[in-house]
Amino acid sequence: VREIKVRAEREYTVKVDCSWQTQLAQILVDRKRAAVIVSESMRERLPDFDNLNPEVAIFAIPDGEAGKSQATLLQLWNWLGAAGFTKSDLLIGIGGGAVTDITGYVAASWLRGIDWLAIPTTVAGAVDAAIGGKTAINSEYGKNLIGAFHSPISVFIDFQWFETLSDRDFAAGLAEVVKTGFIADGEILKKVIGLPIAQIRGDRELVIDLVERTIAVKAEVVSEDFKESFHREILNYGHTLGHAVELDTNFELRHGECVSIGMAFMARLQEDLGLINSDLAQLHFDILQGLGLPTVYKRTAWPKILGHMKLDKKSRSGALRFVTIRGVGEVDRLESPDEELLFRAYEKVSK
Ligand SMILES: NC(=O)c1ccc[n+]([C@@H]2O[C@H](COP(=O)([O-])OP(=O)(O)OC[C@H]3O[C@@H](n4cnc5c(N)ncnc54)[C@H](O)[C@@H]3O)[C@@H](O)[C@H]2O)c1
């Protein structure tokens, strides 16, 4: 088991490459009551917890974004109320980012904050969603609009969960790993370049190393700058356009796939602006395409994409802003670039 410390509003440990069941049994020893929140499709993969003390209740919620809803939140609150959940009880989210996000938010809001534990079962959940203290549910008006900062007491990453992920989901999770390579850890890029997804998945030590490196960077950035601000923003490389694509596809593409398109766009934009050379721009495409991630989107979607990016900017009451790199690990910002320039870069990653 390898341990990574995160100093957010509380300090906690991410245990990488652990047995989640062993860790859970240990943590439950001092608790009177605990409940697991899990998505319906993952429910059958849980053991019955009979041997654990205290007893663990299980609450299944709809899969994916549908589970991060106000309706689910209300059910969970009512259920905690009926069960008489107190400050000393523990909530446990076992699933992808959607499950850990709502578990964290229920924990944040119940009794103004009870303890929770994140057991991510997807790559995206392990390297991103479960780290950093952001919890949320969706509103009719947009994704993640209702949320709070409320870190888990610990995160248990057990790689056995990843075995059942599709190559598509595995690769989508790796998009955040690749992003971390570009903004902070060039070793990541060296390790994944030229390797097809099957080969990465087949190399357990490599997967552990990639996950660990990515978490270490996020943990460091978050620890330095817990609430949303300038430094934390570097994690959004490729995300300005990525989020806009995500909205446009109506969630048909995975988050990581949209971020991949967003990074491809940044590669061309930065190349056009002379911020990076053509080799570094090409490296983006070689790595992302090598993993089977998309680097092209619909040309006709541009007006909507630009609109979404501007709305995103309005919600932050700032300028249209992109996280840029000048080299691997050298991060900068680009504010209010010319729209014509943006479109020229978009043309190169759309058809
Ligand atoms: N809080 C944060 O900082 C943060 C950061 C990034 C993403 N997120 C959130 O995370 C969510 C995306 O997370 P995700 O990509 O993990 O998607 P997800 O949680 O929607 O899971 C995707 C699907 O995979 C299934 N699944 C989960 N684990 C599996 C496994 N081991 N094998 C097979 N199937 C499995 C799930 O049931 C679901 O149907 C989004 O809601 C996003 O907003 C939050």
pLDDT tens digits, one per residue of 291-335:
999 999 999 999 999 999 988 765 566 679 999 999 999 999 999
329: left (phi over 0), alpha (psi -120 to 50) or beta: left
Is the pLDDT confidence value at 118 over 80? Answer: yes
Whole-number Å distance, alpha carbon 154 to ligand 1 midpoint, is: 18
pLDDT value, residue 324: 97
pTM comes to 0.95
181 Cβ below 6 A of ligand 1: no
Give kind and range of the element (H or E) at residue 257: helix 255-272
- Three-state DSSP at 148 gives strand
- Distance from chain centroid for Cα 34: 25
Mutate to test the pocket of ligand 1, among 40, 150, 156, 169 (most ligand atoms within 8 A of CB): 169
Backbone angles phi, psi at 153, to 5 degrees: -80, -20
Is the pLDDT confidence value at 142 over 90? Answer: no
Whole-number Å distance, alpha carbon 138 to ligand 1 midpoint, is: 14
pLDDT value, residue 313: 63
108 Cβ below 6 A of ligand 1: no
**From atom 12 of ligand 1, which residue's Cα is the shortest distance away?**
97
Q: Is the Cα torsion angle 39, 209, 128, 296 positive or negative in sign?
A: negative
pLDDT value, residue 244: 94
Which neighbouring-strand residues pair with 142? 139
> For 70-88, what is the mean pLDDT?
96
235 Cβ below 6 A of ligand 1: no
pLDDT tens digits, one per residue of 43-52:
999 998 877 7
Q: What percent of the chain has pLDDT over 70?
A: 97
pLDDT value, residue 143: 84
98 Cβ below 6 A of ligand 1: yes
Q: Are 31 and 88 in contact (CB under 8 A)?
A: yes
pLDDT value, residue 230: 73
> For 199-226, what is the mean pLDDT?
94
pLDDT value, residue 210: 98
Is the pLDDT confidence value at 30 over 60? Answer: yes
96 Cβ below 6 A of ligand 1: yes
242 Cβ below 6 A of ligand 1: no
Whole-number Å distance, alpha carbon 96 to ligand 1 midpoint, is: 3
pLDDT value, residue 24: 95
54 Cβ below 6 A of ligand 1: no
98 Cβ partners below 8 Å, 6+ apart? 39, 63, 64, 65, 67, 68
262 Cβ partners below 8 Å, 6+ apart? 238, 239, 240, 241, 242, 243, 245
Is the pLDDT confidence value at 10 over 70? Answer: yes
Mutate to test the pocket of ligand 1, among 101, 103, 166 (most ligand atoms within 8 A of CB): 101
pLDDT tens digits, one per residue of 155-204:
999 999 999 999 999 999 999 999 999 999 999 999 999 999 999 999 99
**From atom 37 of ligand 1, which residue's Cα is the shortest distance away?**
63
Mean pLDDT of the chain: 94
Per mean pLDDT, which range of 50-54, 61-65, 89-93, 276-280 is the poorest? 50-54
pLDDT value, residue 266: 98
**From atom 16 of ligand 1, which residue's Cα is the shortest distance away?**
96
pLDDT band at 153 (very low <50, low <70, confident <90, very high): very high
pLDDT value, residue 315: 59
Instruction: Report the atom number in ligand 1 closest to the C-alpha of 134.
Output: 1
pLDDT tens digits, one per residue of 239-271:
999 999 999 998 789 999 999 999 999 999 999
Instruction: Report the atom number in ligand 1 closest to the C-alpha of 164.
Output: 32
| DSSP notation for 163-227 | GGS-HHHHHHHHHHHHHHHHHT-HHHHHHHTT--HHHHHH-HHHHHHHHHHHHHHHHHHHHHS-S
* Higher local confidence (pLDDT), 311 or 114: 114
pLDDT value, residue 66: 93
308 Cβ below 6 A of ligand 1: no
Whole-number Å distance, alpha carbon 246 to ligand 1 midpoint, is: 14
152 Cβ below 6 A of ligand 1: no
**From atom 38 of ligand 1, which residue's Cα is the shortest distance away?**
64
pLDDT value, residue 232: 87
As a whole number of angstroms, the distance between CA 61 and CA 199 comes to 33
